[in-house]
Chains A and B, each alone.
Chain A
Amino acid sequence: MLACLLLAGCSAIPYEPADQPVPAEAEPPAPARVEPPPVAPPPPPAASTDASRSESEPPSVAVLVSDSIPAYNGIAAALTEVGGERRIAVFDLDGDPAQIGAVMEKVRESGSDQLVAIGLLAARAGHEYSESPVVFCQVFNHQDDNLLASGSRGVALVPPFSMQLEAWQALSPQLRRIGVITGPGHEELIREATAAARSAGIELVSRVVKSDKETLYVFKRLVPEIDGLWLLPDNRILSPNVLRELMQYSRKHNQQIVAFNPALLEWGAVMSVTATDTDVARQVLGLIDEPAPRGDAKTGTLTPLTEMHVEVNEALARRLGLDVPGQAAQRITARAD
């Protein structure tokens, strides 16, 4: 079941579950959480594997942040918030690979039982240097560094395509063909997305490219064939110039783009779908609480997210002939370009 989440300061489509409509007047002034049934039930707290630690002592968790950006810091804060009695220590690499050694030394010195790596730089550091089990998040191209190797687990960066597609279809019921462009190594993601699309009666057209310019070129060639583009946060094939041009081209050709970042709404994306920090934190903590994988268990699979945050560029949506739900119209209009 999908959830519709409205965050403070943002406007979002009131996502209306099929079996439990949300009243129109029930616009929450503050973040409200609708707890969907988890894709995977949260495991019971696992017993510490450290024999030296007493039974009553809560586990300690080291949180290694790649850089001080809101997308990372928010999750770190959410981990502290939802971490319960766990002792959580946060370490920041400040985006500087040169600090990895020193910071990892501090992590070791903290005697943490678990390491949570937020962002690719932290994930690489944990994968390389941590002796503790590592759970990473906010990483899209984990396969390039083989981060899901033994001992490491991860949480997905983007909500499941099935959820995104349901929200997209709510905004654009006539949606029939969706394009997606990725760099190499996301065959599993594409496979799952294709299956989800097919079950929703939508054809997913995927292309694999190797550079930003190729992304733009392929997109321009895809435009006549598709109704919208599902834009994934693959930093290898995206650049600011290409994103600007891609957005401009999509506006010019009335193409719907569902982006991974609300910042792209004002540039031409009709809808953005992002994960919520608390959902990511819960999934991370869920993995921490699970027993460490042994052998091939859980290896190569990311833990999916269960919540998402949706924002719509209402003005663009109307120009595209889409029917924007009225509750969010005013706010969206305020954010529109």
Chain B
Amino acid sequence: MQRLRRISVALAVAGVLGVAAPAAANAVTTVTISGATASYPLVNLLAQKYVKLHPGKVKFKIAQGGAQVGINDVAAGRVTIGDVSRDPLLSDPAGLVFYPIAKYGICVITNKSDALANLTSSQLVNIFTGKTRSWSGIPGASASGTIDVVSRTSVAGVLTNFQTLLLEGKKVFSAASEQSSEGLMRQAVENDPNAIGFVSNYQSDKGSVHAVNISGVACNRSTVTSGTYPGVARFYEVTKGKATGAASAFIGWIRASSAARKIISTQWVPVT
């Protein structure tokens, strides 16, 4: 009885080691990614496709937090790749390499009940800087009452780009409510008839919110591709130093393969 017990324990240990050893030999690499909430759906879809095409070789761990969180995490070595939705700034840590993977348009959105057709650039600036506080000051708006301005928290890359590209560099005023992700921004505008905000992938929100033309230009894929829409920005994948190994393979695949291009083209614009 004693001997039986000892033998079975030894067998169990050997079994575990036996499973672990060859498994460790061809271990799956894990690529960690964190960063912008705007590019999270895109990077998720790309990662899913990549794993399907290269099974058993690589795994992805994707977190969100905002473009700035992605930059911090990459610079500190906590993740391999950072998702960033804005152009590099001077204040970014040194040694980061930005790889553009897609183009997106920042669409200004209002609630579906307020089908505002067009906003001039100055009207847009006045609304988001708090100079115009009531919908009555905007001709063509069917909403009435106070304008509920919905913005993003300052770690968001989309906010930085929105301010640079569409607000002529001015900052959104402080009484605007700050949402910590694109999903929350969309919900806020969807649920409030007096709300106005901005998102990066209008395509997926077509059913729930209304996109406003800026200075006569509509916000859709063709204007973003052609560049006639003023608010066009890029999603980047950022690594510390040049990308190596699995990260480099993944980024290379995104930029070169047709499968990736097809995924990007569903709601965004590939970087040609």
Chains A and B form a bound pair: no
Chain A interface residues (CB < 8 Å from chain B): none
